[in-house]
Amino acid sequence: MDSFSSHSSMGSGSPQISAEDLKDQLKNQLAQAYAQEFLETVREKCFDKCITKPGSSLSGSESSCISRCVERYIEATGIISRALFSAPR
Amino acid sequence: MDPSSLNSAELERFLNQEKERAMVNEMVAKLTSACWDKCITSSPGSKFSSSESSCLTNCAQRYMDMSLIIMKRFQSMN
């Protein structure tokens, strides 16, 4: 049975939620999941690049490396995206 | 039509669209990770060198070329 075919199948007794609300919720959750994954990747990449020998505290050069690394990783994401979808092949 | 009702055709279209978007995002994320490892070998500077940015572009495009070859190779197996 098509579980999306009627409102009644969305759960009896639960408050009705509008189509737009459902879409917004889905989009928000997807965006949140994407952001979390992106953050985790950036952490991993920049830890590899910038914290090569963990000391007793984060040094100034390490923290400036981290901010540069984060900026470059975001830039790299844009470059890859353009290379795939807008560059002439 | 009741604007608040969600019919299955509309929901399916919406889900497919989001699925496609998610696949694109995943592809970009995966390639960025792989190409970052290949192209950015030194500690990241305040801007990319021209060789780093062209390496990233080439890396993504060659990956697509490779995918095509692999797909063709597997299609010819049956």
| CATH assignment of the domain containing A22 | 1.10.287.810
Q: Return the pLDDT at B26.
A: 94
Q: With respect to residue A33, please indicate whether it lies within any of the assigned structural domains.
A: yes
In chain A, the percentage of residues whose pLDDT exceeds 70 is 80
Query: How far apart (Å, rounded) are the C-alpha atoms in residues A27 and A76?
Result: 24
Nearest to B56 among A27, A80, A85 (CB): A80
Which residues of chain A neighbour B60 with C-beta distances below 8 Å?
79-80, 83-84
B44–A contact, CB cutoff 8 A: yes
DSSP conformation letters of B24-78: HHHHHHHHHHHHHHHH--S---SS--HHHHHHHHHHHHHHHHHHHHHHHHHHTT-
Q: What's the structural domain count of chain A?
A: 1
Is it the case that residue A13 has pLDDT exceeding 60? no
Mutate to test the interface with B, among A18, A79, A81 (most CBs of B within 10 A): A79
Please give the ipTM for the structure prediction.
0.85
B60–A contact, CB cutoff 8 A: yes
How many residues does the structure list for chain B? Answer: 78
Q: Please tell me the pTM assigned to this model.
A: 0.81
Nearest to B28 among A49, A84, A89 (CB): A84
Please name the fold of domain B3-77: Helix Hairpins (1.10.287)
Q: With respect to residue A29, please indicate whether it lies within any of the assigned structural domains.
A: yes
Q: With respect to residue A31, please indicate whether it lies within any of the assigned structural domains.
A: yes
Which residue range forms the structural domain that includes residue A60? 18-84
B70–A contact, CB cutoff 8 A: no
- Sequence ranges of the domains in chain B: 3-77
Query: How far apart (Å, rounded) are the C-alpha atoms in residues A63 and A29?
Result: 31
Token digits for A12?
Answer: 């009896």
Is it the case that residue A2 has pLDDT exceeding 70? no
Flag residues of chain B having pLDDT under 70. 1-6, 78
In terms of Cα–Cα distance, which of A77, A41, A46 is closest to B25?
A77
Q: Give the pLDDT confidence of A75-88 residue by residue, as tens digits.
A: 999 999 999 998 56
SS3 A56: coil
B32–A contact, CB cutoff 8 A: yes
Q: With respect to residue A37, please indicate whether it lies within any of the assigned structural domains.
A: yes
Distance from CA of B74 to the nearest CA of A (A): 23
Q: With respect to residue A25, please indicate whether it lies within any of the assigned structural domains.
A: yes
In terms of Cα–Cα distance, which of B43, B78, B70, B28 is closest to A41?
B28
B14–A contact, CB cutoff 8 A: yes
